[in-house]
Structure 1
Amino acid sequence: MADVAARAGVSGQTVSRVVNDSPRVDPSTRARVEAAMAELGYRPHRAARALRTGRSQTIGLVVSTLSTVGNFRMLQAVADAAETRGYALTVVTARGAASIAEAFDRLHEQGVDGAIVLNEATAIARDAGAPAGLRLVVVDSPADDRFGVVGSDHEGGALTATRHLLDAGHHTVWHVAGPEDSFAAAARERGWRAALEGRQTPEPLRGDWTAASGHAAGARLPRDVTAVFCANDQMALGVMRALADAGRRIPEDIAVVGFDDVADAADFRPPLTTVRQDFDALGELAVAALADAIGGEPPRAQLVPTRLVVRDSAR
């Protein structure tokens, strides 16, 4: 850093401000310092910075699995947002209360500044409790004074999707729901039920987010069903295959709606009407909320809107 300061003709404190992206540096001075850093091949030493500032510029990500599309998309979104803000990312998996407590301990031992807990892992995280000093943000969880919460408007999205089918003239709408222990699945089921208030409400068929479970549920749909809302796009894909196996046409005989708007949804046959989650916005908000918490800001809950994308499977 002293070499950079000498080359740029500034103080060591000015170099430090540039390295830490302080706004208190004149643009021309910043450019001169950055040019000197490039010429000398200077890179900030993360461990040394952590010793000096008490922060590692590393955050953790806790997941129960990366096999689901939602978790995988969120991992990418969080990684991108963390990189933009200059954070390194450490990923750990946890599937139960003991496992998540161990995950928190590992992250704490590695000196991370805070952690984001994704989707299915949030329920066990609420009961486990994080080590003192480990800031947390959870994705898809009820509001909680102990940590920040970021989530999609699952209930509102499901309500909109179901009303779209009812407005198209369907007497009722069947539902292929997600796992019983999933916060997102429960919220989507509530939105579906709210839209059907005062109408016949069939018993939901439950899957596990996979296309195979959607196929099994689709094979159990009665022949007189004319509309089905699926809690995610993978299960919708399985339902559509089961309907095709039974000789039922989509949307002429039965309309199908999914949730998530995965990258391939527009290429299903027919293209899938679905509720779009903004995973990029979720990842950015989660990292921003964690950065605020690390900086001492109080936790808050933030909800990201969803949007119905109408395609051929349910017009």
Structure 2
Amino acid sequence: MTEVSRGWQRPSIYDVAKHAGVSHMTVSRVLNDHPNIRESTRERVLLAIDEMNYTRSSIARALATRRAMRIGVVVDSPVQYGPNSTLRALESAAREVGYAISAFSISEDDESQIDAGVVELVTQGVDALCVIAPRASSLDMLRQQTTGLPTIVIKAEPDATWHTAAVDQRLGAKLAVDHLIGLGHRSIAHLAGPLDWYDAREREQGWREALTSAGLPSGPAINGDWTSDYGYEFGRTFDFGDVTAVFASNDQMALGLTHGLHERGLRVPDDISVVGFDDLPDSRHFLPPLTTVRQDFGALGSLALQLIISAIEGEEGAQHDVIAPILIARASTSAPRA
């Protein structure tokens, strides 16, 4: 388990208690001027409050609501851009309203760690759980857990079990493909992500639906692994035939694809137009600058936090909330050559 720390965070009453070496009830008694507290203990608690820059009003709020003012976050595949950006956005939104974040990371090669992650976060006394669950396999493990805590899941597909939130992946894919169709492309391939990933499945479905709506046949779809290396091998070896454009399921694969095309003497966008997904900070500096779909992770973090707080306050009901993505058109797409 790693503590997220991008700047100062307001600690909970439990943090103050730990720092002072006392129980949280002792901190409560000190704040309420309970008479049966040793003076040395009182001074130690007050010193801990001062050293942690903890305001009396914040502690009083935590005591009044009986909350730790801390949210536990289980993050699956945190090295990937989407889960990592979602975590950082949630942490920023939480800090703005006085909540702290404790995060537990699940590696891509061991989704069984989710059991340990949930147990560790629950034992910290968090008020709620947020699960950033891009993969179906990790979420299946979570279904076996019963914590009694309000739980929000960040995933691209609705779920009957939990309240979910996400950027609208299917809409993003449709924006990308509609852009290519509008330029005149009629044979559009899809370099997809791993289909255990909800985002990859939704993006592939959006690609298919956009082609069907335009009366076009689905072009070839190849499942990649999110990496630039996979995109490079695909671009270097794939038989494109009459394909004039590729919608890549993320910017990293689009970058590798462009490199692979260049090595075999094909130019982007003159020979093949390329669209990515995510709008990485460096995408505008690819050669050529990459047309892509931007996800507003800041808005997603704020939405997720609102849902978490609503759940803590007793608002129930399984539903799915989404943030709309935006197409960013750059120089990697153009009309196909006649």
| TM-score grouping bracket, smaller chain normalisation | 0.7 to 0.9
* Structure 1 counterpart of 2:106: 94
* Structure 1 counterpart of 2:201: 186
1:118 aligns with 2:132: yes
How do residues 51-62 of structure 1 correspond to structure 2 at under 5 angstroms? 53-62=65-74
Which of 230, 235, 241 in structure 1 is aligned with 2:259? 241
- CA change 1:126–1:146 in 2 (3 A) is same
The DSSP-based 3-state class of the residue aligned with 1:170 is coil
Per-residue CA deviations over 1:82-126 (Å, capped at 9, x if unaligned) read 101111111102355642122111111111111211142565335
* Structure 2 counterpart of 1:282: 300
* Structure 2 counterpart of 1:83: 95
Distance 2:275 2:101 in 1: 35
1:170 aligns with 2:185: yes
1:273 aligns with 2:285: no
- CA change 1:285–1:123 in 2 (3 A) is farther
Q: 8 Å contact 1:148–1:290 — kept in the other structure?
A: no
Task: Decide which moves more: 78-87 or 130-139.
Answer: 130-139
- CA change 1:90–1:46 in 2 (3 A) is farther
1:310 aligns with 2:325: no
The DSSP-based 3-state class of the residue aligned with 1:189 is helix
* Structure 1 counterpart of 2:210: 195
* Structure 1 counterpart of 2:44: none
Q: Letter of the aligned partner of 2:81 in structure 1?
A: V
Structure 1: gaps (5+ residues): 1-36
Q: 8 Å contact 2:156–2:169 — kept in the other structure?
A: no
Q: Letter of the aligned partner of 2:324 in structure 1?
A: P
TM-score normalised over the length of structure 2: 0.76
How do residues 4-15 of structure 1 correspond to structure 2 at under 5 angstroms? none
* Structure 1 counterpart of 2:122: 108
Distance 2:135 2:240 in 1: 37
Distance 2:104 2:58 in 1: 21
- CA change 1:85–1:51 in 2 (3 A) is closer
Distance 1:309 1:97 in 2: 34
Q: Letter of the aligned partner of 1:206 in structure 2?
A: N
Q: Letter of the aligned partner of 2:67 in structure 1?
A: R
Q: Letter of the aligned partner of 2:301 in structure 1?
A: G
Distance 1:42 1:56 in 2: 13
* Structure 2 counterpart of 1:208: 225
Q: CA deviation at 1:141?
A: 4.1
- CA change 1:122–1:296 in 2 (3 A) is farther
The DSSP-based 3-state class of the residue aligned with 2:134 is helix
Distance 1:223 1:124 in 2: 35
Aligned length: 279
Q: Which runs of 4+ in 1 moved over 4 A?
A: 45-52
* Structure 2 counterpart of 1:256: 274
1:221 aligns with 2:235: no
* Structure 2 counterpart of 1:149: 164
Distance 2:60 2:131 in 1: 28
Per-residue CA deviations over 1:275-314 (Å, capped at 9, x if unaligned) read 1111110111111111110111114321111111111101
Q: Letter of the aligned partner of 2:235 in structure 1?
A: G
- CA change 1:84–1:114 in 2 (3 A) is same
Q: CA deviation at 1:72?
A: 1.7
- CA change 1:43–1:180 in 2 (3 A) is same
Q: Letter of the aligned partner of 2:164 in structure 1?
A: V
Query: Percent same amino acid at aligned positions?
Result: 38
Distance 1:66 1:294 in 2: 25
Distance 2:182 2:218 in 1: 16
- CA change 1:45–1:220 in 2 (3 A) is farther
* Structure 2 counterpart of 1:9: none
Per-residue CA deviations over 1:130-149 (Å, capped at 9, x if unaligned) read 43321111112432343221
Q: CA deviation at 1:53?
A: 3.5
Distance 1:69 1:87 in 2: 24
CA RMSD of the aligned region, Å?
A: 2.6
Q: 8 Å contact 2:156–2:168 — kept in the other structure?
A: no
Q: 8 Å contact 1:63–1:121 — kept in the other structure?
A: no
Distance 2:195 2:152 in 1: 23
- CA change 1:233–1:111 in 2 (3 A) is same
Q: Letter of the aligned partner of 1:176 in structure 2?
A: L
Distance 2:54 2:292 in 1: 48
Q: Letter of the aligned partner of 1:245 in structure 2?
A: E
The DSSP-based 3-state class of the residue aligned with 2:191 is strand
How do residues 22-61 of structure 1 correspond to structure 2 at under 5 angstroms? 43-44=55-56, 53-61=65-73
